């Protein structure tokens, strides 16, 4: 395995900006588009993939080598920007149209849980809790700007490291392929 080098990367600023834009766009897509939001129900895999794709683009398009640290930082910027834009778009969708991203996926998961528990009286209490959760989740909501800023803060805190790890994974895979001579 290669050792980390301390020299500055050769990735130009425009390449970094483009990579962050690609990663942020993929995060917005996987967190707001109906049914694609289900990707993130599996350990934030949509955000992880966004970090992977952004770093892959940067490395392949600009033909540069990134260290793991550089890939993590660039991927984290993707996650941070994606979290900001995703939360802002979600806020606007809720306020302007009443649509809450991710509700259809949650409804599918709740229906699946109900189907699995059907005919099992020992799970009656869990079904009651699921019904209460669904009622609360589908209830109309009022959001304030404070809610938006708190949402941006939390989304960015969670999305940044996940996308950064996705970027590191891409560098790991590319270095492994290069070592094999592909």
Number of domains in the chain: 2
Percent of the chain with pLDDT over 70: 95
Are 63 and 87 members of one domain? Answer: yes
**What's the sign of the alpha-carbon dihedral 126, 129, 135, 140?**
negative
The per-residue pLDDT for 7 is 52
Kindly report, residue by residue over 52-75, the tens digit of the pLDDT.
999 999 999 999 999 999 999 999
> Higher confidence at residue 121 or residue 77?
77
Q: What is the mean pLDDT of residues 32-49?
A: 91
**Tokens 């895999």, residue located:** 45
Residue 146 included in any domain:
yes
Q: Which domain holds residue 136?
A: 101-140
Kindly report, residue by residue over 138-173, the tens digit of the pLDDT.
777 788 999 999 999 999 999 999 999 999 999 999
Are 41 and 114 members of one domain? Answer: no
Residue 110 included in any domain:
yes
- In angstroms, the CA 142 to CA 60 distance is 45
Question: Contact 69/8 with Cβ under 8 angstroms?
Answer: no
Are 20 and 84 members of one domain? Answer: yes
Q: What are the φ/ψ torsions at residue 87 (nearest 5 degrees)?
A: -65, -40
Are 152 and 131 members of one domain? Answer: no
Residue 1 included in any domain:
no
Residue 170 included in any domain:
yes
SS3 101: coil
Are 74 and 146 members of one domain? Answer: yes
E strands along 50-182, which residues? none
Residue 6 included in any domain:
no
Are 39 and 90 members of one domain? Answer: yes
SS3 90: helix
Cα 102–chain centre separation: 13
DSSP 28: H
Are 34 and 124 members of one domain? Answer: no
């Amino acid at each position: 395995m290669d050792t980390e080098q301390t020299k500055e990367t050769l990735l130009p600023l425009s390449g970094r900006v483009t990579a962050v834009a690609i990663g942020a766009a993929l995060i917005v897509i996987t967190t707001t588009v109906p049914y694609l939001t289900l990707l993130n129900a599996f350990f934030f895999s949509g955000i992880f993939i966004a970090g992977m794709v952004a770093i892959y683009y940067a490395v392949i398009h600009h033909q540069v080598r990134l260290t793991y640290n550089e890939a993590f930082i660039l991927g984290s910027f993707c996650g941070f920007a994606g979290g900001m834009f995703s939360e802002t778009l979600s806020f606007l969708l809720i306020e302007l149209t009443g649509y809450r991203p991710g509700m259809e996926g949650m409804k599918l998961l709740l229906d699946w849980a109900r189907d699995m528990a059907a005919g099992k009286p020992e799970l009656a209490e869990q079904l009651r809790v699921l019904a209460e959760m669904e009622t609360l989740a589908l209830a109309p909501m009022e959001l304030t700007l404070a809610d938006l800023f708190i949402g941006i803060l939390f989304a960015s805190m969670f999305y940044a490291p996940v996308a950064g790890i996705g970027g590191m994974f891409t560098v790991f895979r590319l270095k492994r392929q290069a070592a094999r001579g592909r």
